[in-house]
A and B are shown apart, each in its own frame.
Chain A
């Protein structure tokens, strides 16, 4: 799980182009969307694509999405629980 969280932090920085951040700057328990990272609905959708592509996990309803993207931890938990393949 820790490895997945660390991996997600790096992916977040890469796909959302948060060039001024390092993985250490991201708190996995902090509010992910609308928090101080400035992540909005478009970023969430970009993450949805990445999660489907890289982990085979589909998130296609707004209600599920809101719970899943509450924090980076909740996202990692959801991926682990729904991923067919064991997480790296």
Chain B
């Protein structure tokens, strides 16, 4: 049985083809190309390469460009809609990097100027503008980010607890991506020509598309999201699997999710970046899936490749096909490559289309396919969904690991029991020693920490199925690679950017490495939610882990970087106070083999007025909270201490006699994924059945029959509960 369809109720789009659905439709119908020489920023040398540059609607304020693009698309999507969405999910890879590049070049070290650097600030800005106080989540899976975000939103709506979600992708042109793709020799100097015999690569672009998705039928739906499929190649950091294995599995999964056969597809919207390898691998996957491929095209010769935005932009293009019969051309393609053996559409067509399959593939072997259908294929009358499930959801917890300044799980536990803080930088030499030397030779700090956490957790969960899904939360991503790429770029006067550092700098590079090491070919999602990144990863794991058998690895990891961390992270005062590490959990649905369980996180904006009562209700009410909760591990980032303490006091007021509260950040370190270490600490405390005196500051407290609550406070209000299964 297939899941309920989800409706596309509103659309906002900004790309090199123009702003708004009407302009986009017009450009595609006219086969217009939006690609031209870069003029957004000055180059130190050389002629500007062709790019897809957008003209964002004017947005007030000093927001970085990705935020502006996203905000413009969000306002378009919500026009005529008075009710705010219950969640916002944005796919992005660039965040505030364009602004950061300029700040770093001028050696600016004022943390306030970097406040929009983090990827999460794009989703937060969108949420703020549309008055959403629910979860504002960020997905960063390179070029499949937009499509992956839409998949998460679909699953969340299909749960029946939410009715409206604003979702999509946004990325801006910046030096990192412009020079990065150039350093990989993936840019066509004459402009992108997908599927052409002489194609030489992509055109880097920018844009945003946001879609308002609803679980009930709106008056004028733009289409139905009927299915989605995710996979990971687990093959190479930057090259697709040559036979298109992962692409094939993602297409199959999306069709199966929609309850369709390959023959049902009326139009296939290709990933079609125009790089020799992508187009070839995609063509091979298509020939493996379809006996006779459907009409197909890639719009990237018109828009350029807008990275995280592209999957969402192409979902919008799919709605134009199913509502207006507009099938776009493969702009830029003159002589289809005979080796590909496909007949791409070369001029825009007008024909009835009921079902579109849209492909998005990215670095890290990250694949996501969506099925969009004509709105008349949906139920005429809204099928009553399963009753909303406000109750807490649980995942079986099979194993865990952590890394801190003290070392691995055992060393961390030992130090905490002895009453020592474990805050500090993880020992990279020790971490590296346990990893395969050849596989990590190109990897810097973050991916090594992630690989060590992954192997530690999988070893600890020996009883569970090997994880097929990887969910990694990181507040700041691969800072060493990002820093080194930008530094070498600047030092060489933009002549010698490092391809290795570029590939390593993408937020999902570490999760891709973990997938390669574990041969995990299921969903591979990287989330970035500042201090709540790990909680976002756990939410994603719950949404994308199948009902039976499967297990997933959920990681939270961050690196402390002497130059970037003090600038980016408002909780870090100076480079001297750097701490890093993370935690990992192996979770699944099969509770028969599990002794422990972890709840799917409660997740709200810290601005939500009803935050505390909603959290108490989530905990089962005052009485249940009072009788069950054995200890609270409270995460108050130094950067939002006043707000965090206030939220904590409001929450503790619910108790007649509050349980012990441990503020874990001073113990574990000020870094974005400290909550992942706190999660591991919670599991360990349950296992030991007692709270040692080193942590209570008084006599030991028994945890028999109790739960451990891990709170995240500050700009967001989050909670994870750990208990015996």
A residues with CB within 8 A of B:
16-20, 38, 40-43, 45-46, 48-49, 52-53, 60, 62
Contacts and interface: CB of A to CB of B under 8 A. Distances in A.
Contacts of B437: 19-20
A42 B438 contact: no
A41 B498 contact: no
A53 B500 contact: no
Contacts of B183: 45, 49
Contact of A42 (B237, B495, B496, B497): B237
B498 A49 contact: yes
Given A19-B437, A60-B185, A52 B496 contact: yes
- Of A19, A42, A48, A49, chain B has the most CB atoms within 10 Å of the CB of A42
B657 interface: no
A42 B442 contact: yes
Interface in B317-338: none
Contacts of B496: 49, 52-53
Nearest to A53: B496
12 contacts: A18-B441, A19-B441, A40-B236, A41-B239, A42-B237, A43-B500, A45-B185, A46-B499, A49-B183, A53-B495, A53-B496, A60-B185
Contact of B438 (A38, A53, A62): A38
Contacts of A18: 441
Nearest to B444: A17
B238 interface: yes
Contacts of A49: 183, 496-499
A48 B438 CA distance: 21
B184 interface: yes
Interface in B259-317: 276
B354 interface: no
Contacts, number: 44
Contact of A46 (B236, B238, B500): B500
B214 to A, nearest CB: 43
Given A20-B437, A42-B237, A62 B276 contact: yes
Interface of B: 183-185, 236-239, 276, 437-438, 441-442, 492, 495-500, 503
Contacts of B239: 40-41
A78 B301 CA distance: 35
Contacts of A41: 238-239
A17 B441 contact: yes
A16 B239 CA distance: 18
B485 to A, nearest CB: 12
B499 A45 contact: yes
B606 to A, nearest CB: 41
The 6 closest A-B pairs by CB, nearest first: A45-B499, A17-B441, A49-B496, A53-B496, A46-B500, A38-B438
Contacts of B499: 42, 45-46, 49
Nearest to B501: A46
B237 A16 contact: no
Contacts of B237: 42
Contacts of B503: 42
Nearest to A52: B496
B341 to A, nearest CB: 21
Contacts of A19: 437, 441
A45 to B, nearest CB: 4
Nearest to B439: A38
Contacts of B498: 46, 49
Contacts of B497: 49
Nearest to B441: A17
